[in-house]
A and B are shown apart, each in its own frame.
Chain A
Amino acid sequence: MTDDIHALDEEAFFDEVYTFQHWFDSVEGYLHDTRFGRKHPTSEVPSEGRREALISTLCNYCVGETAALEASSGLVVIAPNRALKVFLATQAADEARHLEVFYRRLAELGVHDPEAEIPKRASASLLEFKRSLLELVDARDWDAAIFAQNVVLESMEFTTFGTHMRRTDDATADMLARILRDERRHIGFGETQLGRRLHADPVLKARLSRVRARLDPLVLASFTESLEALGVARGDRPELAKDYLQTVGRLGVE
C-alpha cells in the first residue's frame, strides 16, 4: 500500500479502514499507557454541587453509551456485508469501553451502585430514545437504526462531550477527550453509509425524515438537560445542535 493516503483508490481506502487492524493501530495512539481511558493520574472529586451535577450528567452518558453498545452489537447481525460487521464490532468495543470508564469515574465520585443510580437520574427523553433505537434494531431496519445511532445520537454526543470537556475537571476532561476520538469514527461511518444509501434510494430520504422528526427532539432534549446541569449558559448552547444540523443537512434528511 502507498504511504500517501490520498493516492489510494476508494476501494483500497475502505478496505483498509473497516478492519480491526486499523482500529487497533488507531486507538493505540491515544489509549496506550492509559488506565480506564485516562492518563491523568488523579481521581479528583469536584466540590459538592459540581459533583452532583457531574454524577447526573455521567449517568445520562451511561444511558446513551448503553444504547449504543446494545444497538451496535445488534447491528452486527443485520449488517449487509463482512466489512460493515467488522466496523460495527469495533464500535461495540468502543461503546463498551466508554461505559466502563464512565462507571469508573462514577465510582470515584462516590457512586457505589451505578446500576441503581442511573435509573434515578436518567432523562426520560433519553430512555425513550434508547427504547426507540433498540426497536429499530429489533425490526432489522438497518438504515433507520444507523441514522438513529450514528447520526442522531453520535452527533449529539460528539458536541456535548466536546462542550463538557472544555469546562470540567482535568480527570473528566482527559476521559472525554479520548472518547471523542472514538466518536469521530462512528459519526463518519454513519454519514458515509447513509450517504451512499440515500443516493441509491430517494424514497429513503422521506422515511429517514420521519424517523428524525420522532427521535431528534428526544436526544436534543436530553443533552440540553445535561448542559443545563453542567451550568452551560443558554447563550453558549447553540453549538449543540449546529453540528448535528449540518450533518443531516449534508445528507439531505430535513
Chain B
Amino acid sequence: MSQPSPAREIGVDRDGRRRYELLDDTGFDEVPKKYRKFYRRWRGPGDSLAPNEAFCPVCKIVVRSSRELREGDKIYCMACMTRLRIGLSDDGILEARAVY
C-alpha cells in the first residue's frame, strides 16, 4: 500500500534538518496548481508519513514540507484552510494539531 512520496532529499540545514525537493505531482487536485506539491492523499492503512509530512487531523490529508518537521513548526493545510502546529503525542510521536 505504501508508496514512495514524490520528494527527493537534497541535503541538511544548518540546524541539522533534512531538506527535500518536493516533486510535482502528487495527484492532489484540491488546491491551486502551484501549491499541490505540498499535499497528498492519505492512502489508508499501510501508508506512512515521511519526516517532512504530517497528517491533517481536520480533513485527513497529508501536508508536506520542504524540510523535516519538528515540534513547534507551523504549517498550513490549504485543503481545509487550517493552520497546524506540530506537537508531540503522548506516545512521543510527532502530530499536527489545529491552531485557531
Instruction: Write the residues of chain A forming the contact surface with B, with a CB cutoff of 8 angstroms.
Output: 3-6, 8, 10, 13-14, 17-18, 22, 25-26, 28-30, 181, 184-185, 187-189, 191-192, 194-196, 198-199, 243, 246-247, 250
Q: Are A3 and B34 in contact (CB under 8 A)?
A: yes
Residues in B28-42 with C-beta less than 8 Å from chain A? 29-36, 38
Q: Are B81 and A18 in contact (CB under 8 A)?
A: yes
Q: How far is the CA of A185 from the CA of B31 in the complex (A)?
A: 10
Q: What separation, in Å, do the CA atoms of A216 and B72 have in the docked complex?
A: 34
Q: Does B5 sit at the interface, judged by CB under 8 A?
A: no
Q: A182 to B76, alpha carbons, bound, how many Å?
A: 17
| A residues in contact with B73, CB < 8 Å | 6
Asked if B35 and A196 make an inter-chain contact with CB atoms under 8 angstroms apart, the answer reads no
Q: Which residues of A contact B29 (CB under 8 A)?
A: 29-30, 181
Q: Cβ of B79: which chain A residues have Cβ within 8 Å of it?
A: 181, 184-185, 188
Q: How far is the CA of A29 from the CA of B32 in the complex (A)?
A: 7
- 10 cross-chain pairs, A with B, having the tightest CB-CB distances, nearest first: A188-B80, A195-B100, A29-B29, A25-B32, A184-B59, A17-B81, A184-B80, A188-B82, A6-B75, A188-B81
CB of B76 within 8 A of CB of A5, answer yes
| Cβ 8 A contact of A247, one of B33, B58, B78 | B58
A28 to B80 CA separation, bound complex (whole angstroms): 16
CA distance A84 to B83 in the complex (A): 17
A195, B58: Cα distance in complex, Å: 12
Taking the complex as formed, is B62 at the interface, i.e. its CB lies under 8 A from any CB of chain A?
Answer: no
Instruction: List chain B positions with a Cβ less than 8 A from chain A.
Output: 29-36, 38, 57-61, 65-66, 73-83, 97-98, 100
Q: Given known contacts A6-B38, A191-B82, A246-B57, is B32 in contact with A199 (CB within 8 Å)?
A: no
- Enumerate chain A residues within 8 angstroms of B61, measured Cβ to Cβ: 184
Q: Which residues on A sit within 8 Å (CB–CB) of B97?
A: 250
Complex Cα spacing A5 to B75, Å: 8
Distance to closest chain A CB from B19 (angstroms): 12
Given contacts A187-B80, A191-B82, contact A29 B33 (CB under 8 A): yes
CA distance A75 to B35 in the complex (A): 29
Most buried by A among B31, B32, B81: B81
Known: A8-B76, A187-B80. 15 other contacts (CB 8 A): A5-B38, A6-B76, A13-B76, A17-B81, A30-B30, A181-B29, A184-B30, A184-B58, A185-B80, A185-B81, A188-B77, A191-B98, A192-B81, A192-B98, A246-B57
Residue of B at shortest CB range from A155? B58
Asked whether, in the complex, the Cβ of A5 is within 8 Å of the Cβ of B78, the reply is: yes
Nearest Cβ on chain A to B78's Cβ, whole angstroms: 6
**Cα distance A17–B76 in the bound complex, in angstroms:** 11
CB <8 Å contact, B58 and A26: no
Beta-carbon nearest neighbor of B82 in chain A? A188
Contacts of A8 in B (CB 8 A): 76
Q: How far is the CA of A187 from the CA of B82 in the complex (A)?
A: 10
A181 to B60, CA, bound (A): 11
Name 13 A/B residue pairs within 8 A (Cβ), A-sorted: A5-B38, A6-B75, A10-B83, A29-B30, A181-B79, A184-B59, A188-B81, A188-B82, A191-B98, A192-B82, A192-B83, A194-B100, A250-B98
